[in-house]
Amino acid sequence: IKNDLAANAADGSRTGEYSPEAERLLEPDNFPEYRSTLFRAPRNLRYETPKHQLAWFYLVRTLALKEVPPQWVIDYLGLTEALNDVDLTEWVKDPEQMLTIFLLAPPRHGKSDLAAHVIIWLICRNPDIRILWCGGKLDISKLTVKFVKLELESNEKLIEYYGPFENEGSWSENQFVVATRVTRMRTPTLTAIGKGVTILSLDADFIFMDDAFDLKASLSPTQVFNDVLWVKSQLMTRREPWTPLLGIGSHQPSPTGDAYQAMDDDHDNDIFFVKQKAHDYEKCLPLEDEMEEKDRHGEHCLLWASMRSFVYLDQFRRSLGDITYEVCYNQDASQSTLQYFRPEVVRHEYPQPVPSPDTGLYLPFSHYEERSGILDYQRNFGYRVAYCCGSANNLYTAIGFDPAAGETRTASEAALIVLQACKICERRYLIDYWHKRQSPEMHPDTIGLYASTYKVDRARIEINAYQKALARDPRLKKASLDYKFIIDEWFTTDTKWDPGMGIPLLSRHMEQGRFSVPYNLPQDRQKAEALLTQLVRYSPRSSIPSDIVMALWLADLSIIGLIDEGRIVTQKQLDPNAPPHIQDQQVTINLDALRNWE
């Protein structure tokens, strides 16, 4: 024990005892060179250390050496925010502080190889170090220990620079002690542990967890409960405060939430999360002329642009499905992950409608043959569509207005949408929109102005506790008489999430090529951006502003109402002996469509 304490105090760093070249390679900034010089990837390839991996290396180093990382790492990993604005210098030095971070990052981005190499780097730097490695089950943990052991016993250059490491008698499958150790200690250099073990008897200077909570564990609420209990009761209370813990992994799709989510939701347990997205949609370039979709993505939005390109990631999205992809690759936790508006659609060109040679009506978009999108390069904001499916009479125009006032929404803006729709093909045309922080007494004038400018049929206004007076405002009443539109009051309820009524229907219009957003001129693209951003980020459970999406949905509800009123529902004349479920079947006739076919 005496020796252990001494080792702790002196840090055991070997710096100063190696050759100058070996010393140089141990400099943190030279880690990429350390790696590429000393290790060979399968097929004799050199290990590259891209920026995200270097940042992860610095995160390990920060915890292990209790040294603040360079500013670029803090910014790149969003450490200040992830650690709730703690003073990083104080945080790493505080002897009472449990340094516990989970780094959640996409699969296939080099986490595990990097971790093994960082372990070796830590051993070279300080042969007295004691590391616990948990890769989930003990058998899996052993694989990494084996990998590290193999490098230490057979990597000639590594041995020449920092070894020899092999230590007969303490060189087993589960654990080993390196021969380079300075201080005599019982505790092994590297020990493989399985999830769920008792930590009490194990001394360590660093605890690594690698993909300890896999998909199988995440799908079982019981296993998630046990995993979280283990972290909280064993890892958080029984280890010494100076022993840092770094868990690396990916969020797993699970209807009840994975163990990471359970820990992240519980904010008062000193467990911090750094989350890295394979593809950060907020950082993609806007689509310009002569530009293909893939050109919008690169270093600025992709975590590993050279190896994990947009095209590469899109293959995984297609094979995994949107939800699993967003959870695993973009660390969008399972509960909030239902992405209604896929960026691939929101950021893609609108397919111009093709009229049927027989009827002149626009043919339905075939999403099997063509990729859908909403960016209409032939339209400008501020202009109504003149006709659709051969006639100007097919078009309805509606306004959706979300006042966005109320106690919990003080930070949001009011939003107004002018939407036109064809009652035959049901295509939606965004005509104009407006969003602004505005004093509520100005709302009636704003609605009146847009209603008169675009000759709308309906205006649907969200009514909440603070806005009851709005729809009955005399100015609005007068505008509706003057410009002949009907005001729909709308109390937002849970029908928002009804697949038939709510936001998902809007998304379906877009997926099926029935939604056009003006995108012709640079000013149109600039104007569209706020809406496009809100669509991509929209999630029903998040607090991200969605006032424009809400206004769009309100406008669409009015459109649905207008289209429905143009239809009649009739009972089929059936054989009276037909079974009741057949007799009850109703048939809907779209009168407007019938008229068009005459």
Tell me which residues touch Zn ion (CB under 5 A): 284, 297, 301, 362, 388-389, 422, 424-425
Angle of the 474-483 helix axis to the 443-454 helix axis, nearest 10: 0
Q: Which residue bears the tokens 């021969």?
A: 179
Q: How many CB atoms lie within 10 A of CB 448?
A: 21
164 preceded by a cis bond (ω within 30 of 0): yes
Which CB sits closer to Zn ion, 79 or 105? 105
Instruction: Give CA–CA dist 242/3, Å, rounded.
Output: 17
How far is residue 239's CA from residue 235's CA, in Å, rounded to a whole number?
6
Question: Which amino acid is it at 111?
Answer: K
Shorter beta-carbon distance to Zn ion: residue 204 or 422: 422
Q: How far is the CB of 555 from Zn ion (least distance, A)?
A: 17
Q: How far apart are CA 104 and CA 429, in angstroms?
A: 40
Q: Please, which residue, 144 or 596, has the CB nearer to Zn ion?
A: 596
**Beta-carbon contacts of residue 97 (< 8 Å; ≥ 6 apart):** 91, 241, 270
Output the six-digit token pair for 178: 């390196």
Q: Rounded distance, CA 391 to CA 159, Å? A: 81
Residue nearest to Zn ion according to CB distances in the complex: 422
We find the least distance from the C-beta atom of residue 352 to Zn ion, in angstroms, to be 12
**Least distance CB 422 / Zn ion (angstroms):** 3
Rounded Cα distance, 220 and 572, in Å = 49
Contacts of 449 (CB under 8 A, 6+ apart): none
Judged by beta carbon, residue 419 or residue 422, the one nearer Zn ion is 422
- Min. distance of Cβ 291 from Zn ion in angstroms? 12
DSSP string, 388-457: BTTBGGGEEEEEEEE---SGGGTTS-EEEEEEEEETTT--EEEEEEEEE---GGGHHHHHHHHHHHHT-S
CB of 419 to Zn ion, least distance (A): 14
Residue 153 or 592: the one with the smaller Cβ distance to Zn ion is 592
- Closest CB to Zn ion among 39 and 312? 312
What is the smallest separation between the CB atom of 425 and Zn ion, expressed in angstroms?
3
Cβ neighbours, 10 Å, residue 586:
8
**Residue number, 197 or 505, with CB nearest to Zn ion:** 505
Query: Least Å distance between CB 348 and Zn ion?
Result: 13
For Zn ion, the closer CB: 257 or 343: 343
Given the complex with Zn ion, which of 151 and 457 has the nearer CB atom?
457
362, 355 in Cβ contact below 8 A? Answer: yes
**Taking Cα atoms as reference points, which of 593, 563, 559 lies closest to residue 356?**
593
Q: What is the CA radius of gyration of the chain?
A: 31
C-beta of 117 vs 317, nearer to Zn ion = 317
- Between residues 81 and 299, which has the closer beta carbon with respect to Zn ion? 299
Give yes or no for a contact between 224 and 254, defined as CB atoms under 8 angstroms apart.
yes
Task: For Zn ion, give the closer residue by CB, 396 or 434.
Answer: 396
Residue with tokens 């057949």, as numbered in its chain: 582
- The answer to whether 287 touches 270, Cβ cutoff 8 Å, is no
- Strand order through the sheet with 100-104: 175-176, 190-193, 131-134, 206-210, 245-249, 100-104, 272-275
Q: Are 28 and 61 in contact (CB under 8 A)?
A: yes
